Chains A and B, each alone.
Chain A
Amino acid sequence: NAGVMQNPRHLVRRRGQEARLRCSPMKGHSHVYWYRQLPEEGLKFMVYLQKENIIDESGMPKERFSAEFPKEGPSILRIQQVVRGDSAAYFCASSRTSGGLKNIQYFGAGTRLSVL
């Protein structure tokens, strides 16, 4: 059973370009979470999605950032007009349906975004 797959692993963009980060959850998982980790800092929650729905986007910047999890295909985190401050590691996690109390999020290896 493959784990959470993120691609690309490394992404270099110039200021003003768009960055698209992809996340395929583990098989059988329908919940996806995106986190961002700045250098020397802990992970910060950005957005929580289920298929075709955004459940919680309280951690996502209001401008330039968007996320989707379509019925078919991976979840996409999109950053428009990137700035140097967007340089970070972006991690995706997935979990099974939220029934019951116990719910484990499994993380991918991350995408390291560098903005020149």
Chain B
Amino acid sequence: LAKTTQPISMDSYEGQEVNITCSHNNIATNDYITWYQQFPSQGPRFIIQGYKTKVTNEVASLFIPADRKSSTLSLPRVSLSDTAVYYCLANQAGTALIFGKGTTLSVSS
């Protein structure tokens, strides 16, 4: 199972774009890259998933270079409500997710 590494914390201001980079040097061919968001006292919420290149949905964009050894979650124009812990995972279908400590994003006004 690929191990992921991401910054422990990040600070931002409302209206800014936030990019959180995750490294997964040992990612396997069958692994997908998935990002979750977790607020205090809540379960993780799925944000976005990708395999390679770029994926975009209504919430975020995910950039994955050709070698797939890293990925970047991009949150456009963050607001105070985006303050949360963000987890990057690399896993195959039908397997347990291995969560690290995630990145604690703090958004200030």
Contact = CB atoms under 8 A, between A and B. Distances in A.
Nearest to B101: A42
A108 interface: yes
B44 A103 contact: no
Nearest to B97: A105
A94 to B, nearest CB: 11
- Main SS at interface, chain B: loop
B93 A43 contact: no
Contact of A104 (B43, B46, B102): B46
B43 A102 contact: no
Contacts of A107: 36, 43-46
A101 B42 contact: no
B87 interface: yes
Interface string B63-104: 000000000000000000000000100001111111111100
Contacts of A4: 43
Category for how many chain A residues contact B:
20 to 34
A23 B9 CA distance: 32
A71 interface: no
Contacts, number: 70
Contact of B87 (A31, A42, A56): A42
A98 B99 contact: no
Given A101-B51, A107-B44, A108-B43, A42 B94 contact: no
A109 interface: yes
Interface string A34-48: 010000011111001
A14 B21 CA distance: 43
Lowest 4 A-B CB distances belong to which pairs? A98-B94, A103-B93, A107-B43, A45-B96
Interface of B: 30, 32, 34, 36, 41-46, 49, 51, 87, 92-102
Given A35-B99, A45-B97, A109-B43, 20 more contacts: A35-B97, A41-B101, A42-B100, A42-B102, A43-B44, A43-B99, A59-B96, A91-B43, A95-B93, A101-B92, A102-B49, A102-B51, A103-B32, A103-B92, A104-B49, A107-B36, A108-B43, A109-B42, A110-B42, A112-B41
